[in-house]
């Protein structure tokens, strides 16, 4: 596909701020977004929608072909299908797999690459490292590189900059190119809403870089762009918000188990506690999933390990607690089955929801996976129904097409993901499909009293009491 860039770079880092604002307003700044996945594609579309010619680069050939054929890939991301069609029609956005074709003609190279954890629970920055090494030979002089990917504090200044500069130091940051960060903060399924409401943090290797990033993002996003002292402070702030949630979920998970043993309903506890002005409610669950919270906790722990001190022990303990919730779910299922004279081995168990969060099609680090594996290890036969994964294969299991067929001929149903569809399930409907059906609600969705009255054998995380 022919690139939409037809002019040479404007050398943004050699320009003064008033001139850069004029170039932005006239649509002369050309943007390359490397990584057009869950966050990168909406980001690229936002830049293109602000009248800046934008090209997305990705190694996923099928994704690139889909974009260039006019098909929007993120069906579960409200609002962006219309923006996508608009920028494609106006020839402000296209995609390619060829980094070398786009970067030399770009003014801004924005990196939205995955930063997962590896099999040993360490940060994996291999995608950034690989692209950084390639950029060394491609970035034009006086261009600006912005990292939106979530990384630990100090990674940009201590590690990533070396890939761009190269071993030969033929490029020097701050002299030959600009480097800064603006960590993404969007919540999958609500990205457009978040892009329009959440402040962004901007940091650079020097003051001028930070100021240029602020003006660039102000042109694209109608939110406050907060200037941070440097890259590491911006990244530390990003991690802090998610690790805070991770720790508080661990606390509530432990509290929920205590409530079970005391005969207390954790949902009533949280409802009452949330009335106090300085309480921020978090909810228990079967584990913490997704590419953010568990990974960000690994990243901040890695920073602590590099220092060499025994720091952030609370984060390590939170990992242990949250990872242990899958086993607690198995215990709830097993105990409930035993109460009706059944055993977990050879039972048929339906998993309701495999996405890591409600109303999105995404199974990255989903808490459903360890629950399924532990059930299989105990000899259970697994069925899966998820409205976002109909008639597909997930974790080696062919998923069900509809809930009616899925709920038939099972011993237990376990609600893992609180998709909207599951919030409207009638307990009487469930009870009518299987006699003495065990229903384990890990998300506090079902009304336990109504469910028991309908004839279900109900258990839930933290749902003690009558």
Read off the pLDDT of residues 223-250 as tens digits, 9 standing for 90 and up.
999 999 999 999 999 999 999 999 999 9
Cα-based angle 315, 318, 323 (whole degrees, multiple of 5): 130
CA 171 – CA 266 distance, rounded (Å): 57
- The mean pLDDT of 79-99, rounded to a whole number, is 96
Which tokens belong to 411?
């011993």
Q: Which candidate, 52, 100, 44, 50, places its Cα nearest to that of 72? A: 44
Q: What is the pLDDT of residue 135?
A: 97
Cβ(450)–Cβ(376) below 8 Å? no
Q: Strand 381-385 to strand 393-394: parallel, antiparallel, or no bridges (unpaired)?
A: unpaired
- Asked if the model's pLDDT at residue 1 lies above 60, the reply is no
Task: Kindly indicate the confidence band of residue 96, based on its pLDDT and cuts at 50, 70 and 90.
Answer: very high
Q: What is the pLDDT of residue 182?
A: 98
- Asked if the model's pLDDT at residue 42 lies above 80, the reply is yes
Q: What is the pLDDT of residue 2?
A: 59
Q: Strand 93-96 to strand 54-57: parallel, antiparallel, or no bridges (unpaired)?
A: parallel
Q: What is the pLDDT of residue 435?
A: 82
Domains of the chain, start order: 12-229 (3.40.50.720), 239-466 (3.40.50.720)
pLDDT tens for each residue of 48-69: 999 999 999 999 999 999 999 9
Rg (CA), the chain: 25
Three-state DSSP class for residue 187 = coil
Strand partners, 306: none
Longest dimension (CA), the chain: 77
Which tokens belong to 298?
């690994």
Place of tokens 């098909």: 71
DSSP assignment string, 418-451: --GGGGG--HHHHHHHSTT-EEEESSS-S-HHHH
CA 135 – CA 141 distance, rounded (Å): 12
- The mean pLDDT of 103-112, rounded to a whole number, is 97
Cβ(54)–Cβ(33) below 8 Å? yes
pLDDT averaged over every residue in the chain: 95
Q: Strand 393-394 to strand 397-398: parallel, antiparallel, or no bridges (unpaired)?
A: antiparallel
Task: Kindly indicate the confidence band of residue 466, based on its pLDDT and cuts at 50, 70 and 90.
Answer: low
Cβ(383)–Cβ(372) below 8 Å? no
> Which helix or strand (DSSP H or E) is residue 372 part of?
helix 368-377
pTM recorded for the entire structure: 0.94
Place of tokens 């409200």: 78
CA 150 – CA 39 distance, rounded (Å): 11
Q: What is the pLDDT of residue 145?
A: 98
Which tokens belong to 300?
């901040």
DSSP state of 143: E
Q: Considering Cα of 306, then 307, then 310, then 316, what sign does the dihedral take?
A: negative
Three-state DSSP class for residue 382 = strand
């Amino acid at each position: 596909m022919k690139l939409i860039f037809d002019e040479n770079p404007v050398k943004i880092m050699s320009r003064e701020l008033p001139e850069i604002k004029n170039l932005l307003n006239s649509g002369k700044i050309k943007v390359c977004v490397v990584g057009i996945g869950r966050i990168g594609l909406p980001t690229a579309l936002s830049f293109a929608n602000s009248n800046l010619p934008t090209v997305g680069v990705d190694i996923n050939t099928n994704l690139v072909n889909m974009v260039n054929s006019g098909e929007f890939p993120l069906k579960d991301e409200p609002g962006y299908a219309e923006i996508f069609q608009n920028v494609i029609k106006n020839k402000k956005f296209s995609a390619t797999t060829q980094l070398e074709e786009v970067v030399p003609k770009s003014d801004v190279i924005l990196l939205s690459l995955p930063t997962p954890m590896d099999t040993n629970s360490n940060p994996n920055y291999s995608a950034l490292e690989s692209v950084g090494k390639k950029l060394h030979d491609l970035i034009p002089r006086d261009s600006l590189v912005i990292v939106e990917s979530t990384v630990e504090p100090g990674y940009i200044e201590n590690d990533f900059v070396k890939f761009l500069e190269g071993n030969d130091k033929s490029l020097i940051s701050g002299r030959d190119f600009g480097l800064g960060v603006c960590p993404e903060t969007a919540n999958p399924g609500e990205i457009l809403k978040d892009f329009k409401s959440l402040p962004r943090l901007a940091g650079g290797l020097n003051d001028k870089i930070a100021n240029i990033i602020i003006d660039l993002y102000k042109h694209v996003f109608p939110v406050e762009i907060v200037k941070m002292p440097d890259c590491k402070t911006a990244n530390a702030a990003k991690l802090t918000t998610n690790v805070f949630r991770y720790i508080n979920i661990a606390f509530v998970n432990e509290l929920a188990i205590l409530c079970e043993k005391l005969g207390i309903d954790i949902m009533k506890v949280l409802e009452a506690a949330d009335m106090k002005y300085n309480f921020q409610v978090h909810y228990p669950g079967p584990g913490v999933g997704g590419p953010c919270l568990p990974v960000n906790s690994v990243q901040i722990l890695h920073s602590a390990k590099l220092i060499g001190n025994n720091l952030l022990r609370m984060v390590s303990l939170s990992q242990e607690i949250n990872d242990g919730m899958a086993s607690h779910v198995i215990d709830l299922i097993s105990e409930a089955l035993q109460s009706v004279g059944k055993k977990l081995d050879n039972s048929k168990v339906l998993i309701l929801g495999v996405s890591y969060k409600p109303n999105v099609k995404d199974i990255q680090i989903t808490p459903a996976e360890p629950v399924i594996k532990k059930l299989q290890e105990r000899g259970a036969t697994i069925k899966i129904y998820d409205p976002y994964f109909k008639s597909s294969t997930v974790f080696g299991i062919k998923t069900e097409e509809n809930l009616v067929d899925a709920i038939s001929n099972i011993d237990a149903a376990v609600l893992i993901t609180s998709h909207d569809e599951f919030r409207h399930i009638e307990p009487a409907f469930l009870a009518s499909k299987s006699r003495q059906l065990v229903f384990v609600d890990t998300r506090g969705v079902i009304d336990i009293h109504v469910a028991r009255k309908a004839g279900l054998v109900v258990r839930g995380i933290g749902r003690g009491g009558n």
